[in-house]
Amino acid sequence: MLHVVPGAPTLGTFTPWGLAAPLPPEPGLQESCAESARAYFSATLMSLASEHGAACELEVMHGSACSHAVSSAIVSKAEELAAALVVLTDNRRGVLDGLFQAPVSRQVAAACRRPTLVLTDAHTAGI
């Protein structure tokens, strides 16, 4: 099982001249998110896989806040592992996000040469 923890987007402030000055992300935020992801997946999906006799390992990778970078990391890992199947959830965000970049699941499905299954909210309601 692979989970990519996106990096915090760089926030900006505006000066009186209209220029943006980037603010660094909070120290330790990405690692804190990675630890939370490890705990969540261990308690839920890893446990579920174990109950059904499936051997499962968890890898948490750090990525950027860009959905293209996250999808590229997933595709690369799937190829590296020669994955029999890539399973993703369709984490739809707000309408505005969809206008600017395709969801990660759609990008992976388009780029990955491995069989890909995208689960919708209806599939994951009980997880």
Q: Taking Cα atoms as reference points, which of 114, 112, 122, 59 lies closest to residue 89?
A: 122
Q: What percent of the chain has pLDDT over 70?
A: 71
Asked if 91 and 101 count as a contact pair (C-beta separation under 8 A), the reply is no
What pLDDT score does 8 carry?
Answer: 62
User: Tens digits of per-residue pLDDT, 41-87?
Assistant: 888 888 888 899 988 888 888 777 677 888 898 999 999 989 989 98
- Count of residues for the chain? 127
In whole angstroms, give the CA distance from residue 56 to residue 63. Answer: 22
- Residue 58's CB: how many other CB atoms inside 10 A? 14
